[in-house]
Amino acid sequence: MDKIFRVNMTDLTTKIEEVPAAWAGLGGRSLTSTIVSAEVPPTCHALSAENKLVFAPGLLTGTPAANSGRLSAGAKSPLTGGIKESNAGGTAAQMLAKLGIKALIIEGAPKGDAWYNLAVGVNGVTISEEKELLGLGNFAVIDAVEARLGKKTGVLTIGPAGELKMTAANISVKDPDSKIRSHGRGGLGAVMGSKQIKFISIDGEGAPGVKIADPEKFKIAARTFSKAILEHPVSGEGLPTYGTNVLVNILNEAGGLPTRNFTTGQFKDHDKISGETMYDTIVARGGKPKHGCHAGCIIQCSQVYHDKDGKYVTSGFEYETIWGLGADCCIDNLDDIARADNLMDDIGIDSIETAVMFGVAMEAGILNWGDSKEMLRLLTDEIGKGTALGRILGGGAGSVGRTYGVTRVPVVKNQAIPAYDPRSVKGIGVTYATSTMGADHTSGYTIATNILNVGGYVDPLKKDGQVELSRNLQIATAAVDSTGMCIFVAFPALDIPECLPALIDMINARFGIALTGDDVTNLGKYVLKTEREFNQKAGLSNVHDRLPDFFKNEPVAPHNAVWDFTDEELDEFWNF
Amino acid sequence: MDKIFRVNMTDLTTKIEEVPAAWAGLGGRSLTSTIVSAEVPPTCHALSAENKLVFAPGLLTGTPAANSGRLSAGAKSPLTGGIKESNAGGTAAQMLAKLGIKALIIEGAPKGDAWYNLAVGVNGVTISEEKELLGLGNFAVIDAVEARLGKKTGVLTIGPAGELKMTAANISVKDPDSKIRSHGRGGLGAVMGSKQIKFISIDGEGAPGVKIADPEKFKIAARTFSKAILEHPVSGEGLPTYGTNVLVNILNEAGGLPTRNFTTGQFKDHDKISGETMYDTIVARGGKPKHGCHAGCIIQCSQVYHDKDGKYVTSGFEYETIWGLGADCCIDNLDDIARADNLMDDIGIDSIETAVMFGVAMEAGILNWGDSKEMLRLLTDEIGKGTALGRILGGGAGSVGRTYGVTRVPVVKNQAIPAYDPRSVKGIGVTYATSTMGADHTSGYTIATNILNVGGYVDPLKKDGQVELSRNLQIATAAVDSTGMCIFVAFPALDIPECLPALIDMINARFGIALTGDDVTNLGKYVLKTEREFNQKAGLSNVHDRLPDFFKNEPVAPHNAVWDFTDEELDEFWNF
């Protein structure tokens, strides 16, 4: 039977607990959000001992189900002030699931200045003081932990940004190549830093593995599910070939590629940073155009990007990062963006928040538009070293906006708006405004239906149908985020009739239960309502379900579109 | 008849308007809050063109009534995100009132980078581009404006902090000695900076003066009112002798003098910074122990503080500043605190927000406890010059807390908590929590009744009666802030039966009306409810009417008192 592993950093004790009956059917996001809601006072300071950091693998994580290896991390966010769930690939989720760990809850905070590491294994968690690795970047931490504990060890770690409690700090997860995946958004690295934990190692030795109640049923459903993923043009072809960066040219064409801190919707140098260019570059330099973030991934949207000498630069090189440093900061040099991606992984800072932040910093005059050399210097010498300027930048887009008096700051609930202009792709604007997470494209990815014609088509430039589209996708996503599945399984699930039933069949076969489609929808609704209730108690009301004023006041080229939803129309989102 | 002077900084036009009937009975805070509520979208960015900066003299300002020369400034606050009224002495209020200006409303914002000055006179407002005085401190601006326009000119100005749109920036008002009084709290200097106005000059030439409907009745009431002020032991003796700094020893004795960023309630070196020590120092060095912030002040709680060579250092040297840099930062050198007070006036930054900020900065390790030399350097070289660190510090206590991950940050609605520990003086804690202004002792000064036995006595260490006390005082204060009266008239008004009726008689005689005591109370209630409605629309709900957690979790010596109000008890405040 799965257990809850609980670590108290105030008195440095650990416990193994039974799973409460009410949590038995939950996993991933549904479990982290339930635990945070139940145990964290919504008005507490997110960096205080009262906050808790919760890791939970999904319901299907650790099984052979394709693309089920995502780990949810949850807490009260120091960036948004609301609840946060951020999920990532890497090796940790499957190791935790196979160890029978339903959730790892880290609570309290040390009274002194000492830092610690946690070692998670089949018999529980050991807390040890950590001195050697403090101040190091994430790559060095992973290397050192592997040297100490062996190549197979799982690692969750924070870089200097997390140690300094920067609100854009992320939590890094070791991937199958000993590189990095990230719980990127919402400043969870600062929460881990506030608990004075530099890294968590995971030892899979002796793990009982995941038991499947009905292996035969599971196998059939898993095959159907995999087939659907491979058959769909987005998950089976677009993503594997060009990665998420396939979107640069698509969004530029649609006029929804936010450029120069969201002043226009097209970037004249889009070709230089596009997925197609990236593919050719990777192939020419001997990198890998296809790569998975966790074992069992059959989409392989990641890649390994080399420099012109054929040496490793980065992997997990995502569209949102490339868009943010590229179009939004007017940087047309893909090599410099790749180098920045590597630095952000090493420093441990969210690449979306940071990229959007640089656009605001350019508007503030901290550096010039398109100056990638200065951007790299700021990452290395300021953010990485925690100077005063580095701390401002490491606080994200809102921090720079507040500190420099900038009024055009693309954030919702203080979290940076990613990669898709809400004026010209209105569905995603509804998601940004209403998501319990702050601006977050992954929480209801209407780009599927607004731009990619997946799950039908809703005209991105018109208001009609957008609230309903975002609502349906946010509900479905909250459920998918509970399974441990990669969000990209939504593409086949929206278009291929056998896909979603197969996913539900796998859950039923895993646990020996009989969920219906309605049950899954209800799970998604429950997650959103639980998160919203937490946010309301934390002081985030309907007033915070809004986009910044400049989206209303500034039409964006090429469509001259403005953000024209009324407050009442947006509030309709919660009518379910 | 009084007029509204309106300046539009977007198209650089000015207008003179009739006073709408609904505004006729309003002045000072009741007028600024009414105008901000009516004309500013609550969710707008406080530094955007949609915000408006409103100046209004009080209902009695410009008359011979004692202590009636205060000016209200209002806007949406960039510090709190809510509505703000901040009032100050100086010469501007009486000049505006005598010019027949009911309110000066500044709206819009320039499209380009040019900066401006406004010249207010009997015929309206002239907008001129300003180049010469940009970047200068407030003292230099006042000198230069007097050199340009004559010694008698009134001046409202911002220093480098306002130009840089720091959220602790204030608006400085020239006083009768060409020194500085401040609209200190809530970052109104940043709002003026966002309108790109360096200073506003006021030319009193040709002013029609204030007409009094019933001069004889006014004279009698004014005499009674003045007598009450002079007879009361606080306004007639304590304040004139020691200034507001009389409170250091009193609060230390009461165990309510927040020390070392609110970790204890007594400061071992209180004697070195006390009002008594200050008095002796001023007298020995040939300064002035008594001084008024505006013509007609008969309390004279201000003073002129000299250095050991007998040279001017500062005036308007308040308890809250001395407490903040003294006890709260553990600085025991009154000369260094005086020098800092002068620097803060020159840079144009709120001395309460800044002093509390330094306590948080010391906790963050930016400088050492008690290091007054480094404190002065940070003011001059960092805040004054707008470096990255200076901008963090100039954002106030909350800014430092967020940027450095400090959890013990004494703010409510992001505005710093002043000078009186809410755990050991519980009435003022209710005011801090519930005030529409963010933490603000002046909005409901329960110290009167909790500590000074004015208006009865409510035990500061018990919860009983505190909500009612704060409510009554906040309602009364909102009304007093509408008259142009100094808040210290509340001392005689609470204890001497003839005082309040005389104040009401003066208003009635001024306008030829017949207000009752109930009308005045209703005005106060109207002001608070208007402000609260704005705040709620801006996203500040009951959840924001709370003190930081550490007041609940950390008992404060010497009484080991904690903040123990429940949310429900606090919310009772609004039950009127």
Residues from chain B that touch A545, judged by Cβ atoms under 8 A, are none
The reply to whether residue A549 touches residue B44, judged by beta carbons under 8 angstroms, is yes
Find which of B158, B403, B554 to mutate to test the A interface (most A CBs within 10 Å of its CB).
B403
Q: What is the pLDDT of residue B1?
A: 75
- Provide φ and ψ at A240, rounded to 5°: -65, -30
Residues from chain B that touch A387, judged by Cβ atoms under 8 A, are 388
A531 plus A406 within the same structural domain: no
- Note the pLDDT tens digit of each residue in A128-145: 999 999 999 999 999 999
Amino acid letter, B94: Q
- What angle, 0 to 180 degrees and rounded to 10, lies between the N-to-C axes of helices B517-537 and B499-511? 80
How many other CB atoms are found less than 10 A from the CB of residue A543? Answer: 16
- A197-202/A116-121 β-pairing: parallel
The reply to whether residue A194 touches residue B405, judged by beta carbons under 8 angstroms, is yes
A543 plus A398 within the same structural domain: no
B388 plus B322 within the same structural domain: yes
Q: What is the pLDDT of residue A499?
A: 97
B155 plus B264 within the same structural domain: no
Distance from the Cα of B360 to chain A's closest Cα (Å) equals: 15
- Note the pLDDT tens digit of each residue in A8-29: 999 999 999 999 999 999 999 9
User: Final residue of a domain: which of B420, B449, B466?
Assistant: B420
* Residue A221 domain flag: no
Q: Report the CATH number at residue B456.
A: 1.10.599.10
A413 plus A535 within the same structural domain: no
Q: Which residues contact B223 (CB under 8 A, 6 or more apart)?
A: none
* Residue A233 domain flag: no
* Residue A378 domain flag: yes
The length of chain B in residues reads 576
A396 plus A437 within the same structural domain: no
B439 near B416, Cβ under 8 Å?
yes
For B248-279, letters b (16+ CB in 10 Å) and e give bbbbbebbbbbbbbbebbbbebbebbbbebbb
A119 near A7, Cβ under 8 Å?
no
Question: Which ranges of chain B have pLDDT less than 70?
Answer: none
- Three-state secondary structure readout of A273-333: HCHHHHHHHHHHCCCEEEECCCCCCCCCEEEEEECCCCCEEEECCCHHHHHHHCCCCCCCC
B122–A contact, CB cutoff 8 A: no
Distance from the Cα of A539 to chain B's closest Cα (Å) equals: 5
How sure is the predictor about A527, in pLDDT bands with cuts at 50, 70 and 90? very high
- What angle, 0 to 180 degrees and rounded to 10, lies between the N-to-C axes of helices A28-39 and A466-480? 90
Closest CA to A90 of A136, A127, A142: A142
- Give the closest of A43, A391, A405 to B194, CB-based: A405
Amino acid letter, B410: P
Residues from chain B that touch A47, judged by Cβ atoms under 8 A, are 405, 407
- Provide φ and ψ at B173, rounded to 5°: -120, 130
CA atoms within 13 A on the CB side of B549: 15
Torsion angle of C-alpha atoms A163, A169, A174, A176, degrees rounded to 10: -160
* Residue B212 domain flag: no
Q: Report the CATH number at residue B120.
A: 3.60.9.10
* Residue A501 domain flag: no
Q: What is the pLDDT of residue A380?
A: 98
* Residue B527 domain flag: yes
B95 plus B123 within the same structural domain: yes
- Note the pLDDT tens digit of each residue in A76-104: 999 999 999 999 999 999 999 999 999 99
B19 plus B62 within the same structural domain: yes
Number of domains chain B is built from:
3
Q: Report the CATH number at residue A334.
A: 1.10.569.10
- Where in the sequence is the domain holding B54, given as residue range(s)? 3-202
Q: Which residues contact A437 (CB under 8 A, 6 or more apart)?
A: A80, A82, A83, A84, A85, A185, A186, A413, A415, A443, A531
CA atoms within 13 A on the CB side of B430: 32
The span from the first CA to the last CA of chain A, in angstroms, equals: 35
- Give the closest of A41, A78, A539 to B544, CB-based: A539
Residues from chain A that touch B537, judged by Cβ atoms under 8 A, are 543
- Provide φ and ψ at B116, rounded to 5°: -135, 165
DSSP summary character for residue B539: T
B93 plus B158 within the same structural domain: yes
- Three-state secondary structure readout of A437-500: CCCCHHHCCCHHHHCCCCCCCCCCCCCCCHHHHHHHHHHHHHHHCCCCCCHHHHHHHHHCCCHH
A399–B contact, CB cutoff 8 A: yes
The DSSP secondary structure of B416-480, one letter per residue, reads EPPSS-TTTSHHHHHHHHH-TTSS-GGGS-THHHHTS-TTS---TTS-TTHHHHHHHHHHHHHHH
Q: Closest chain B residue to A540 measured between Cα atoms? A: B539
- Give the closest of A391, A407, A538 to B403, CB-based: A391
* Residue A191 domain flag: yes
Q: What percent of chain B has pLDDT over 90?
A: 100
How many other CB atoms are found less than 10 A from the CB of residue B122? Answer: 14
The residue written with tokens 């020893």 in the block is B249
A100 near A57, Cβ under 8 Å?
no
Helix (H) or strand (E) segment spanning residue A189: helix A188-194
Helix (H) or strand (E) segment spanning residue B126: strand B124-129
A67 plus A96 within the same structural domain: yes
Query: Residue A48 and residue B419: Cα distance in Å, rounded?
Result: 24
User: Final residue of a domain: which of B366, B387, B420?
Assistant: B420
- Does a cis peptide bond (omega within 30 degrees of 0) precede residue B558? yes
B193 plus B247 within the same structural domain: no
Tokens of A421: 């202009």
Distance from the Cα of B386 to chain A's closest Cα (Å) equals: 10
Backbone region of residue A563 per phi and psi (left: phi > 0; alpha: psi in -120 to 50; beta: other values): beta
CA atoms within 13 A on the CB side of A337: 29
Residue A571: exposure state from Cβ atoms within 10 A (0-12, 13-18, ≥19): middle
DSSP summary character for residue B111: S
Q: How far is CA A574 from the centre of its chain?
A: 23
How many other CB atoms are found less than 10 A from the CB of residue A131? Answer: 10
B258–A contact, CB cutoff 8 A: no
- Does a cis peptide bond (omega within 30 degrees of 0) precede residue A558? yes
User: Final residue of a domain: which of A399, A421, A443?
Assistant: A421
* Residue B508 domain flag: no
B514–A contact, CB cutoff 8 A: no
- Three-state secondary structure readout of A497-544: CCHHHHHHHHHHHHHCCCCCHHHHHHHHHHHHHHHHHHHHHCCCCHHH
Q: What percent of chain B has pLDDT over 70?
A: 100
B411–A contact, CB cutoff 8 A: no
B173 plus B321 within the same structural domain: no
Q: Is B490 helix (H, G, I), strand (E, B) or coil?
A: helix
A166 near A394, Cβ under 8 Å?
yes
Closest CA to A72 of A107, A24, A104: A104
Is the pLDDT score of A1 beyond 80? no
- Three-state secondary structure readout of A118-163: EEEECCEEEEEECCCCCCCCHHHHHHHHHHHHCCCCEEEECCHHHH
DSSP summary character for residue B489: G
